[in-house]
Chains A and B, each alone.
Chain A
Amino acid sequence: MLKELELKRHAMTGISYMIPLVVASGLLIAIGNIAGGNPALISNYKSSYTLWEAAVTLGVYGMGLIPAVMSAAIAYSIADRPGIAPGLLMGMIANAMGAGFFGGMLGGYMSGWCVNFLKKNIKVPIWAQGLMPMMIIPLLSSIIVAFIMFFVIGRPIAVASFALTDMLINMQGGSKAVFGAVMGAMAAFDFGGPVNKVASLFADGLLINGVYGPEAIKICASMVPPFGVALSWLIRKSRYSKSEADNIKIAFPMGICMITEGVIPIAAVDPLRVVFSCSFGAAVGGSLIMLLDVASPVPSGGLFIVPAMQNPIGFLIALGVGSVITALLLVALKKDAVEKQNDGEDDEEEDVDLSGINIK
């Protein structure tokens, strides 16, 4: 039952549509704030305004659109095109009520399911069939889900959302370090896989609520594995085979752009040691980010967006320390690589359970 709902696939679709918007908006705010010295938002278009005010204002508009885009994309993923109209509306409600990202997600699911339910259960005479997609479905689904958002779940989500934000802002010392370590370890744990996506979703949600620390942890934790592996290779080349070395040469530049996936071929050969070393380094990096009050208003972009962060030097320290720890652990834990006889470039396959795969 739960599997049939495909909650994850829909959420991932939402995120994939949302990311470019978040990056563009976050960078606009950061560029405007840095270049313009924290300019005011434009409040009256009839009087004059500067370029930097315009940049920050546009970024803030973009941030406000995020719950709507998330919600619409989830609804689209569930119900195709008819999901978009109610999805956008529910996201706007979530944003206005302060239920933000998580409210938008929920609005998106409900919109999609509601549209599918209506598609299935409303029968109209043939002459009225054109009205179904044009009027009946968008109107009815919007009314139904909007009622739920406005009067039932919007307020509780907003309250929970504020409470979470409050808690994270007011965290002190030890709990800050622990939070950073857990986030960092999760984000690095499976190199862009499901665990990383959970941490990522959490960080993105908080970003919309104006808490930027977790995003910095996520960025750092995505870069520690490739940097750490590359560094360990420089320290002790014998730890890696020739084909692994080739992979490292690709993984490092990918790491600069915050793409962790380059490490996967290295981890596939020796999963336990590599995953442990990377997660540990990223956990230390995450703690340092929290303790040094590093924050990033931009959710991705790697080294290129470091100047846009709050306390960029702190970020580089966290990234450096995390990478060095990962590298030293790798050098200490890994055994020297044995060159394989067959040239079989990445011919090895992991054993994956294929029994759940159906041909339809």
Chain B
Amino acid sequence: MNIVGIAACTSGIAHTYIAKEKLMKAGQALNHTIHIETQGTIGTENELLAQDIAAADVVIIAADIKVGGRDRFEGKKIVDIPTHIAIKSPKALLNKIQAELGI
């Protein structure tokens, strides 16, 4: 699958980046193409590129707070989860999404 996503947590200094790391690792391990943008307290980092979003099969938003720039994903399939799911079981999450999308 081609995956893009956003990670954002309340304090914006720890869970945000752990969630990103976990999703990236799981995605790479399962041979997906994955790009995750972080919206921490420092601001947006690794901003998603338009072509990556266009190519994405699914958008994963792992956030405990409101994320910015949702309008970029109009017409895309979006999965909303709290960060702890991405942290605790990223591979199961990706497998479930893949099974549901049937890709």
Chain A interface residues toward B at CB < 8 A: 8-10, 12-13, 15-16, 19-20, 76-77, 192-193, 197, 254, 259, 261, 264, 268, 300, 349-352, 354, 357-360
A-B pairs with the 3 shortest C-beta distances? Answer: A13-B65, A77-B66, A349-B89
Pairwise interchain contact B66-A13, C-beta atoms closer than 8 A: yes
A76 nearest in chain B by CB position: B66
When A254-B14, A349-B89, A354-B96 are in contact, do A360 and B65 touch as well, CB less than 8 Å?
no
Chain B residues closer than 8 Å to A12, beta-carbon distance: 10, 64-65
B63 nearest in chain A by CB position: A9
Pairwise interchain contact A360-B89, C-beta atoms closer than 8 A: no
Query: B74-93: contact bitstring with A at CB < 8 Å (1 yes, 0 no)?
Result: 00011111001101111111
Other-chain residue from A8, A13, A76, A354 in contact with B92 (beta carbon distance below 8 A): A354
The SS class assigned to the A binding surface is: helix
Pairwise interchain contact A359-B14, C-beta atoms closer than 8 A: no
Pairwise interchain contact B85-A16, C-beta atoms closer than 8 A: no
When A261-B15, A360-B77 are in contact, do A19 and B92 touch as well, CB less than 8 Å?
no
Pairwise interchain contact A357-B79, C-beta atoms closer than 8 A: yes
Pairwise interchain contact A354-B93, C-beta atoms closer than 8 A: yes
Asked if B44 is at the interface (CB within 8 A of a chain A CB), the reply is no
Chain B residues closer than 8 Å to A357, beta-carbon distance: 79-81, 85, 93, 96
Asked if B101 is at the interface (CB within 8 A of a chain A CB), the reply is yes
In the bound assembly, the distance between CA atoms of A192 and B101 in angstroms comes to 33
Chain B residues closer than 8 Å to A259, beta-carbon distance: 13-14
In the bound assembly, the distance between CA atoms of A15 and B89 in angstroms comes to 26
Pairwise interchain contact B14-A261, C-beta atoms closer than 8 A: yes
Chain A residues closer than 8 Å to B92, beta-carbon distance: 349, 351-352, 354
A-B contact list, 10 entries, CB within 8 Å: A8-B64, A12-B10, A20-B41, A259-B13, A261-B14, A264-B87, A268-B88, A350-B88, A352-B84, A354-B89
When A350-B89, A352-B85 are in contact, do A359 and B97 touch as well, CB less than 8 Å?
yes
B78 nearest in chain A by CB position: A360
Chain A residues closer than 8 Å to B12, beta-carbon distance: 16
When A359-B58, A359-B78 are in contact, do A77 and B65 touch as well, CB less than 8 Å?
yes
B21 nearest in chain A by CB position: A346
B40 nearest in chain A by CB position: A16
When A9-B66, A10-B66, A77-B66 are in contact, do A261 and B18 touch as well, CB less than 8 Å?
yes
Pairwise interchain contact B89-A351, C-beta atoms closer than 8 A: yes
Chain A residues closer than 8 Å to B13, beta-carbon distance: 259
Other-chain residue from B9, B41, B89 in contact with A352 (beta carbon distance below 8 A): B89
Task: Give A108 Cβ to nearest chain B Cβ, in Å.
Answer: 12
Pairwise interchain contact A360-B11, C-beta atoms closer than 8 A: no
Other-chain residue from A9, A193, A254, A352 in contact with B65 (beta carbon distance below 8 A): A9
Chain A residues closer than 8 Å to B14, beta-carbon distance: 192, 254, 259, 261
Further contacts, 8 of them, CB under 8 A, given A12-B65, A16-B11, A352-B88 = A8-B64, A19-B41, A77-B66, A352-B84, A352-B89, A352-B92, A358-B80, A359-B78
Chain A residues closer than 8 Å to B89, beta-carbon distance: 349-352, 354
Task: Give B8 Cβ to nearest chain A Cβ, in Å.
Answer: 8
Chain B residues closer than 8 Å to A20, beta-carbon distance: 41
Chain B residues closer than 8 Å to A261, beta-carbon distance: 14-15, 18
A254 nearest in chain B by CB position: B14
In the bound assembly, the distance between CA atoms of A77 and B70 in angstroms comes to 12
Pairwise interchain contact B85-A15, C-beta atoms closer than 8 A: no
B79 nearest in chain A by CB position: A359
